[in-house]
Amino acid sequence: MFSLSKTLYEVLEKKGAKPILHDPYVRDFELPFTKDFNEVIKDADAIVIVTKHKDYLNLNLNSIKNKMRTPVIIDGRNVYQKEECKKLGFIYKGVGKPH
């Protein structure tokens, strides 16, 4: 079965990143993952959104930004608005959105 998160994890790991996968709905996965969102964002250099789970639609971005090392959002599902994120101090890249 194809999994975008697995492919992304492997690519990032090969480039020297230390990705942490989060999914509140997955029970078992072949790669390490966590259900603790705070573990994912603590000192993170980026958040990459690859699913449009309802849990990700209304995150407190200001609180998240304060826990990250580098406030970067790569939005692969167009969950957030670029201007809103920039206003809060994030570097925002939306897949399929103009720069």
For 30, the token pair is 């072949």
This prediction's pTM: 0.85
Q: How confident is the model at residue 74 (pLDDT cuts 50, 70, 90)?
A: very high
Whichever domain contains 74, its CATH number is 3.40.50.720
Phi, psi torsion values for 6, nearest 5 degrees: -65, -45
User: Quick check: is 23 in a domain?
Assistant: yes
Phi, psi torsion values for 22, nearest 5 degrees: -130, 135
User: Quick check: is 45 in a domain?
Assistant: yes
Q: What is the mean pLDDT of the chain?
A: 88
Range of the domain at 76: 4-94
User: Quick check: is 99 in a domain?
Assistant: no
Tally of domains in the chain: 1
For 44, the token pair is 């993170």
> Is the confidence at residue 96, as pLDDT, over 50?
yes
Q: What is the pLDDT of residues 31-73, one digit of tens each?
A: 778 888 999 999 999 999 988 888 888 899 999 999 999 999 9
Q: How confident is the model at residue 97 (pLDDT cuts 50, 70, 90)?
A: low
Residues 25, 51 contacting (CB under 8 angstroms): no
In 3-state terms the chain splits into helix, strand, coil percentages (rounded to 5) of 35, 15, 50
User: Quick check: is 25 in a domain?
Assistant: yes
